[in-house]
Amino acid sequence: MSDFRTPYPGYDVLAKWASPSWNDQTRQVVRERLLNIPRPRFFNEAEWSVLTALCDRIIPQPERAEPVPIAPFIDAALFEGRGTGTRFAEMPPDGAAWRQGLAALDAEAALRFGGRFAGLTAERQDAIIAAAVAGDVTAPAWEGLPPRRFMRGLVLLEIVAIYYAHPAAQSEIGFGGSTSPRGYVRLDAGRFDPWEAGPGIWPDREP
């Protein structure tokens, strides 16, 4: 399994923190996100251990000494009843769906590999996640919770929404980051404003 390499090493959206690309309210939001990691209040210990293992496999961050925290924000959103606007009719309410889904991942781990999800190897965890994403799971604990919908319509969405809200994640994809009040001037392909990331390094495009 090869590791992830960013095309934009050395680029950091936070480097523009004091520039006209950032206004006070964006600073307030991002400062809060970076400094105030919520402590878990919604999930119990068993659920939490599945959740953190799951987040580690959806967004593996082996290269980071301090990975971008994801699970704490999922917990906080559920605790605060933030809402997403949609509950698919075939699904339980969000909080209940998360609880049941995490338990079902654990049950699936027991069924397939005779262990707890959090204790499995990364390959085995991935196999279970892939099966759930494909709707191809069999543990009775999934009863009433369509696995594909749970994974694609809730779990993956929430995890990417939290991860790509983080400056480290935005930097690794070369996103321009905050733009208020200053936006962009150069809108053509391959042309960049000085406050954007420089051209990326693209192995598939080396001559």
Partner 1 sequence: MTGAVGTVSRDAEEHPRAVEGRAPDVFSRDGFVPMRQWPEEEPVDFAIVGTGCGGGIAAAKLAQAGFSVVAFDAGPFWRPLADFASDEREQDKLYWLDERISGGNDPISLGSHNSGRCVGGTTVHFQMVALRFRPEWFAARSRLGYGVDWPVDWRVMWKYYAEVERACSISGPVRYPWGPPRGRYPYRAHPVNAAGLVLARGAEALGVPWSPMPVATVSAPRGKSPPCAYRGMCKIGCSTNAKQSILITYIPRALAAGAEIRDLAMVARVETGRDGRVCGLHYHRGGQWRYQRARNVIVAGYAIETPRLLLNSASPQHPQGLANSSGTVGRHLMVHSNHAVWGEFDEEIRFYKGPPLLAVCEHWNYADGDPSRDFDGGYAIMSQGPLPIDYASCLVSNTGVFGTELRRRMALYNRMAGLKIVGETLPQPENRVTLAEETDGFGIPKAHVSFSYCENDKRLFRHSLRFMDRMLRAAGGRNLYESEATAHLMGGCRMGHGPDDSVTDSDGRTWDVPNLFVCDGSLMPTGGGVNSSMTIMANSARIADRLVALGKRGEL
- Interacting residues with partner 1 between 142 and 201 (CB under 8 A): 148, 151-153, 156-157, 160-165, 169-170, 172-190, 192, 196-197, 199-200
Instruction: Please select the residue that binds partner 1; options are 50, 53, 59, 128, rule is CB under 8 A.
Output: 59
- Closest CB 102 distance from partner 1, rounded Å: 16
User: How far is residue 127's CA from residue 154's CA, in Å, rounded to a whole number?
Assistant: 19
Indicate whether 128 belongs to the interface with partner 1 (CB under 8 A).
Answer: no
From the CA atom positions of the chain, what is the Rg in Å? 20
Q: Which is nearer to partner 1, 46 or 165 (CB)?
A: 165
Q: Which residues contact 75 (CB under 8 A, 6 or more apart)?
A: 38, 40, 41, 42, 43, 48, 51
- Residues 68-87 as x/- pattern, contact with partner 1 by CB under 8 A: ------------xxxxxxxx
Question: How many CA atoms lie less than 13 Å away from 123 in the CB half-sphere?
Answer: 1
Q: Min. distance of Cβ 72 from partner 1 in angstroms?
A: 14
**For 143, how many CA atoms within 13 A lie in the half-sphere containing its CB?**
2
Nearer to partner 1, 45 or 146 (CB): 146
